[in-house]
Amino acid sequence: MPQDIIALGEERMNKTIAVLEKDLSLIRTSRANPAILNNVAIDYYGVSTPINQISSISIPEAQTLMIKPYDRTALKDIEKAIQLADLNLVPVNDGNVIRINFPPLTEQRRKDLVKEVRSLGENYKVMIRNIRRDLMEQIKKYEKEAQITEDDLKKESENIQKLTDKFTAKIDDIVKDKEKAIMEI
């Protein structure tokens, strides 16, 4: 029973890490990253459709994204959606494709982004610790109901703490990698 709780907790922690990675992919570096457009959608024949489903997005150069819609009539809608998404990006429509140039980040902007990344990392560590708290409560409940012994409670508590430490270290590594990417010129 406690093993099921720990396995469920590990699954929840893995999902938390996946969401962190998704959130960090939306923070731009000086290099082009198609993930920055993941939350941008257009009204395509009456249906809100993500840009990446109606076009191919490529990176012809390190600081340029190129969006080539499968239907050229959607070019203006894509351009408008990018402008309205408040991503501080300027789409350039040449009639066939849309190009987005990523200007180099200033030193101050890089430092601000690093602070934002660290803050996000701390928020996700809190989520991991909340999962630990939930697991501990469930294990203690088993002990109160006499389904496990006090020794088992201590052993499982240590296992939960090791799991928590593993995932907080993983968050630290992910945040450090993102900081390095942001500070890279």
Quote the CATH superfamily of domain 2-26+106-183. Ribosome-recycling factor (1.10.132.20)
Question: Is the pLDDT at 2 greater than 80, yes or no?
Answer: no
d(CA 56, CA 58): 6
Q: How do the domains of the chain map onto residue ranges? A: 2-26+106-183, 34-101
C-beta neighbour count of 154 within 10 angstroms: 12
Provide the whole-model pTM.
0.72
pLDDT score at 185: 65
| pLDDT tens digits, 121-164 | 999 999 999 999 999 999 988 888 888 888 888 998 999 999 99
Dihedral sign, Cα of residue 46, residue 78, residue 87, residue 29: positive
d(CA 63, CA 47): 31
pLDDT score at 30: 67
CATH code assigned to 34-101: 3.30.1360.40
Half-sphere exposure (Cβ direction) of 137: Cα atoms closer than 13 Å:
6
